[in-house]
Amino acid sequence: MSLRIGDEAPNFSAETTEGRIDFHQWIGEGWAILFSHPKDFTPVCTTELGYMAKLQPEFQKRGCKVIGLSIDPVDDHQRWAKDIEETQGTAPNYPIIGDADLNVAKLYDMIHPNATGGKRTAVDNATVRSVFVIGPDKKVKLTLTYPMSTGRNFDEVLRVLDSIQLTARHTVATPVNWKPGEDVIIPTSVSDDDAKKKYPQGWKTLRPYLRVVAQPK
């Protein structure tokens, strides 16, 4: 079954480059990003894991842990880390799951349910370039799946996390291309009377259903 936004992120135990984990325990009380890549020692994945390592401190500032995954063994992840550091300038500074038996990939619907483990090519793993943002309540907040030939925009994942965290704290929504500090939208579920209490400084009404207000602090 496909995982949808609002579903509980399935729990699992797995070996990682930082030891065995229970996923829900590892998340703890904060946020988490689980992202998968098709295969170690491949070009697009090398650039992705290096860039995520550079961004990891930004996710950490937001109380969000990062964990990677592929269906390669942990030993391969550890050997590959040197290549990532030498070519991208930063080695992975987050755990990477070794999912050689495909348990997690299937649990998160990242690969065909009839797929089998063992020696595989990157093409066989075509669906495994996914991102899941998971909240402190262990619910899925975002899902993304990219094609084999397209590296992900992890800056966008960070932007979405900022939006999700803001809208979890305040009754607002974020408009197209929103960035932190920019104006936000008052949802239609909030009446004008309630909005006056929440936003005494006022707002701009473009249409009755489109009210723009400064981002809450």
Residue type, 22: D
Q: 167 and 213 in contact (C-beta within 8 Å)? A: no
Report the pLDDT averaged over residues 50-63.
Answer: 98
Tell me if residue 64 is catalytic: no
Topology (CATH) of 170-213: Antioxidant, Horf6; Chain A, domain 2 (3.30.1020)
What is the pLDDT, as a whole number, of residue 122?
60
Burial of 34 (0-12, 13-18, 19+ CB in 10 A): buried
Report the pLDDT averaged over residues 102-112.
Answer: 89
Query: Would you put residue 41 in left (φ > 0), alpha (ψ -120 to 50) or beta?
Result: left
- Encode pLDDT of 151-188 as tens digits: 999 999 999 999 999 999 999 999 999 999 999 999 99
Q: In the predicted model, what is the mean pLDDT of the chain?
A: 93
Report the pLDDT averaged over residues 61-86.
Answer: 97
Q: Which CATH superfamily is domain 13-152 in?
A: Glutaredoxin (3.40.30.10)
Sorted by sequence, the CB contacts under 8 Å of residue 45 that are 6+ apart come out as 37, 38, 39, 70
Which residues in the chain belong to E strands, given as ranges? 13-16, 19-22, 31-36, 64-70, 96-98, 130-134, 140-145, 184-186, 204-207, 210-213
End-to-end CA distance of the chain: 39
What is the pLDDT, as a whole number, of residue 12?
98
Tokens 């932007």 belong to which residue?
Answer: 159
> Catalytic pick from 14, 45, 140, 157?
45
Domain locations in the chain as residue ranges? 13-152, 170-213
What is the pLDDT, as a whole number, of residue 148?
85
